[in-house]
Amino acid sequence: MRAKAVGVVVLVLVLAGCGGGSGEHTYILVASRTSRARIFAAGIYVTVVSPLAFPPSTLTEMKKKYDFVDHAVGPEVCSFSIKAQGEKGAMAFMNGKIVKVNVRGTNPLASTVCAEIRHEMQIHGITL
């Protein structure tokens, strides 16, 4: 159940949290050391590669739930390219942009995170 929450939160952050800047921006996330989910999510690394930099306010929110690390460890479990579509308002600039998500790690629940990301993308009609 906790791995499901990790996957959903990452997906939402990826699709709704990008903005500003140019070029490619890479963020590597792990469950926060202060999070109870850390017990279940230890050894799972989620890499997000965005064509646009995350705004400072988004990074601040993310740091409440995730720790940022310099590199991911472990074998690749899954990788997705997600095309943002249907965004409105302040996030409309993300429409048509491709965000890459990669899950790595030795934790057996990493595959559950991948399955949940796939499931959420299908529910929301997001192009893989």
Q: If pLDDT is split at 50, 70 and 90, which confidence band does 73 have?
A: very high
| pTM flag (> 0.85) | no
Residue 21 CA to its chain's centroid (Å):
18
- Bridging pattern class, strands 25-31 and 44-50: antiparallel
What mean pLDDT, rounded, does the chain reach? 76
Q: What is the mean pLDDT of residues 46-54?
A: 84
d(CA 70, CA 24): 16
pLDDT (mean) for 60-76: 88
- Contact, 117 vs 80, CB < 8 A? yes
Residue 52, classed as helix, strand or coil, is coil
Q: What is the residue type of 31?
A: A
